[in-house]
Amino acid sequence: MRKKVYTSTTNAIAIMFSVTVFVTLAATIFYFIFRFSYVLLILLIATGFFVGALVLLMHNRLFAQPIKQYCQLMKSFSLLKRPDVSLSPLSEIRLINRFVRKTWLQAQHISLSLFKIIELCSMGIFYNVKNEEEVYCSQKFFDIGGISRQAGFIKCQDFDKIYNKITGLYYDNNYQAYLLADFRWVQIQSYEYKKYRMGFIYDVTERVREIKKIESERDIDSLTGLFNRVAFTRLAENLISDRSIKTIAVIMWDINKLKYINDAYGHDVGDSYLCKFAEVIKNLEYYGGLVSRRSGDEFLALIYGYKLNQLKPIIDKINQKIADAYIKIGPNIEKLRASYGVAWYPENGRTIADLINYADAALYEDKYYILAHSLNDLALYDNAGYIQEFNHIIENKLIVFSYQPIIDAKKTEIFGHDAVMRIYSDIISQPKQLREVAKAQGKLNLVEEIVFEKCNAMIRHYKNIKTMPVFINSYSNIILPDNVLSKLFANSGDLKIVVDIAYYLSTDRHILQEKIKILKKYNLQICISNILFNFIDIDKIFVAVDYIKIDVTNIDLNDFNKNKIRNIISFARENNIKVIAKGVDTYKMMKNLLDIGIDYLQGAYIALPFSRPVRLAKGNHKVCQKINQMKIKKVSF
């Protein structure tokens, strides 16, 4: 139960009343004892009231008023100001005054010690009591916040302006910090309790720099300063997930002369060549694009925020800059040369993986396709080093073949072989390079003639595989003369030769149609390869073929791509065409393709290329193992 509290005025009135009552009772008792007159009784009672009033007045002056003044002073007491207590005639109040002053001085001493400790820390601090009109701010608070003031108390309105100014700056969620005008990063935290508000401010510039350094080492290619593949993929996925973006272009470049530059001038010059190329395509960043180095000589870029007809000129402009750029090596000048491919969102894919795969396919299949614009650089390998090496390869026929088995998905046995080209050269070591040099020199027909001649001789040499189809690579826009074809295939009626024609978006369909017609005269079967992203405008050219080959290398077999393959298989079934999946590198990929209903399988998971064709799985452990695994798993076809 709460005790009652009485004021000094109440106590004074009680004392006065007690004195008056006492004097009145005493006068009345004396009156009845001594029987004096009424006048004297009245005088005595009046004297009692007078004495009571005098006691009340003295109590109020000596006790009540000083205590009341002291209470009013204590109500306005603050640690921010020294207590101003006047001297009191009462020793007790003087004792309380001395105690209050001593306590205030001790609080000031403790506060100063605490402030000194705080100033030694790297953070700034501010606090105030909610009923106070001022906020204490340490010197570090002003220094970190970039404010020219001394430590001390400032009015709440002024503090709120400073606080709102800092928290109104740019805030980065990754660093959880504000960026000041002098490019320093600060964190500010505020806490409120029942009666207090306090907070801290930190300068986290060095920590942000360390984070940026780690991010840079993780996300930035050290040679070119561009994003690496991982960072590009992560940022691109975030952009594609933004449904407000309607059109995106993904561009992939492949530097065609890097190996030649490295071999001719050294890797330091090759690095300079890469950096120059990166410098040119980095201009896409002015259009808000993402630019990255995918691997050694491959680069990726993504542009968004424009309409389709606006993106095309931007891409053309960058490619023209590439064509005009060069590096100087002593007295020599080496121009930048690169192939490129473009994929459009959402037409060519709805994920970054699909778009990269499409751009990759466009690049490596010579799909220089930007809507109606095409940039074909036939001078790609037109220099003395490549020309001399090319002539050496052709004169000495330095082209050989490895033979990769193709597996019948239903019978789980070897159906045929794909003749994989190998070149005896350190300068022109890849079939794509050989094709580019031959194209630049107008000599693709010489390469095709050697390929046909050597494969034809190989099939005749290995008599035990004459009944097995052998797929021979061919160029779509080249038709060998009748006298050459007659010499090669006039007596090949008992051989199963399949001419594997690579189909590009740049392929001349009329030439291709005529080529198929001529080859059919020699009882040759026809396969059209590179069909997945190129599966458009199906017409009688495709109806006339025997096989369609889908390259699934590095393809994500998601629902989107599975539907593409199902459409191809459906078309093939209607026209009595068999479908081959090339690039089957994993069991999961094989299983998915079998579930879709593919006819034939080819890839590293089944078997790597061999130096000579394999007649049966028996006797070859690796191929046998893959076939047996397919049987044991009882995969439904």
Range list of β-strands (E), 233-383? 248-255, 290-293, 298-304, 326-329, 332-335, 338-345
> 613 near 419, Cβ under 8 Å?
no
Structure tokens at 253: 């470049």
Tell me how crowded residue 109 is: count the other CB atoms within 10 A of its CB.
10
> 348 near 370, Cβ under 8 Å?
no
The set of long-range contacts for 312-318, using a CB threshold of 8 Å and a minimum separation of 24, is 312/370, 312/371, 312/373, 314/284, 314/287, 315/249, 315/251, 315/342, 315/370, 316/370, 316/373, 316/375, 318/251, 318/280, 318/281, 318/283, 318/284
Cβ neighbours for 496, distance < 8 A, ≥ 6 positions apart: 416, 466, 467, 468, 469, 470, 525
Structure tokens at 168: 């109104």
Provide the pLDDT for residue 505. Answer: 66
Which of the residue ranges 11-20, 163-172, 373-382, 442-451 would you say has the lowest mean pLDDT?
Answer: 373-382
Provide the pLDDT for residue 637. Answer: 38
Provide the pLDDT for residue 627. Answer: 58
Is the pLDDT reported for residue 494 higher than 80?
no
Q: DSSP assignment, residue 412?
A: T
Provide the pLDDT for residue 146. Answer: 86
Distance (Å, whole) CA 468 – CA 616:
10
Tokens 């600060």 found at:
186
Which of the residue ranges 275-279, 374-378, 544-548, 559-563 would you say has the lowest mean pLDDT?
Answer: 374-378
**Parallel/antiparallel/unpaired status of strands 497-502 and 470-475:** parallel
Q: DSSP assignment, residue 64?
A: I
Specify the amino acid at residue 442. G
Q: DSSP assignment, residue 220?
A: B
**Parallel/antiparallel/unpaired status of strands 547-551 and 578-582:** parallel
Tens of pLDDT, residue by residue over 294-351, are: 888 889 999 988 888 888 889 989 988 998 898 888 767 788 888 888 888 888 888 8
> 431 near 448, Cβ under 8 Å?
no
Provide the pLDDT for residue 429. Answer: 76
Distance (Å, whole) CA 427 – CA 186:
56
Provide the pLDDT for residue 277. Answer: 93
Tens of pLDDT, residue by residue over 587-631, are: 888 888 888 889 999 888 888 787 777 765 444 545 556 556 655
Is the pLDDT reported for residue 376 higher than 50?
no
Residue 322 is inside which H or E element, if any?
Answer: helix 308-324
**Parallel/antiparallel/unpaired status of strands 547-551 and 525-529:** parallel
Is the pLDDT reported for residue 369 higher than 50?
no
Share of the chain above pLDDT 70, in %: 73
What value does the CA radius of gyration of the chain take, rounded to a whole number of Å? 47
Between residues 217 and 38, the one the model is more confident about: 217
Three-state DSSP string of 3-53: CCCCCHHHHHHHHHHHHHHHHHHHHHHHHHHHCCCHHHHHHHHHHHHHHHH
* CA-wise closest residue to 491 among 446, 456, 462: 456
Distance (Å, whole) CA 418 – CA 421:
9
Tens of pLDDT, residue by residue over 162-200, are: 888 888 888 888 788 898 878 888 988 888 877 778 888
Distance (Å, whole) CA 144 – CA 177:
13
Cα dihedral: 70, 75, 78, 84 (round 10): -20
Provide the pLDDT for residue 560. Answer: 76
Distance (Å, whole) CA 251 – CA 277:
14
Provide the pLDDT for residue 471. Answer: 92
> 52 near 16, Cβ under 8 Å?
yes
Residue 598 is inside which H or E element, if any?
Answer: none
> 296 near 219, Cβ under 8 Å?
no
Largest CA distance in the chain: 172
Provide mean pLDDT across the span 386-401.
Answer: 84
The distance in angstroms from the start CA to the end CA of the chain is 89
Distance (Å, whole) CA 88 – CA 61:
11
Q: How confident is the model at residue 377 (pLDDT cuts 50, 70, 90)?
A: very low
Provide the pLDDT for residue 634. Answer: 47
Provide the pLDDT for residue 119. Answer: 64
Distance (Å, whole) CA 317 – CA 312:
9
Provide the pLDDT for residue 370. Answer: 32
- Paired residues of 474 in beta bridges: 501
SS3 484: helix
Specify the amino acid at residue 410. K
> 253 near 340, Cβ under 8 Å?
yes
Which of the residue ranges 191-195, 447-451, 468-472 would you say has the lowest mean pLDDT?
Answer: 191-195
As to burial, measured by CB atoms within 10 angstroms (0-12 exposed, 13-18 middle, 19+ buried), residue 99 is exposed
Tens of pLDDT, residue by residue over 63-114, are: 666 677 667 666 666 655 666 655 566 666 667 777 777 777 777 777 767 7
Provide the pLDDT for residue 459. Answer: 79
Reported pTM:
0.44
- Paired residues of 344 in beta bridges: 249
Tokens 């036939």 found at:
378
Provide the pLDDT for residue 619. Answer: 42
Is the pLDDT reported for residue 11 higher than 80?
no
Is the pLDDT reported for residue 280 higher than 90?
yes
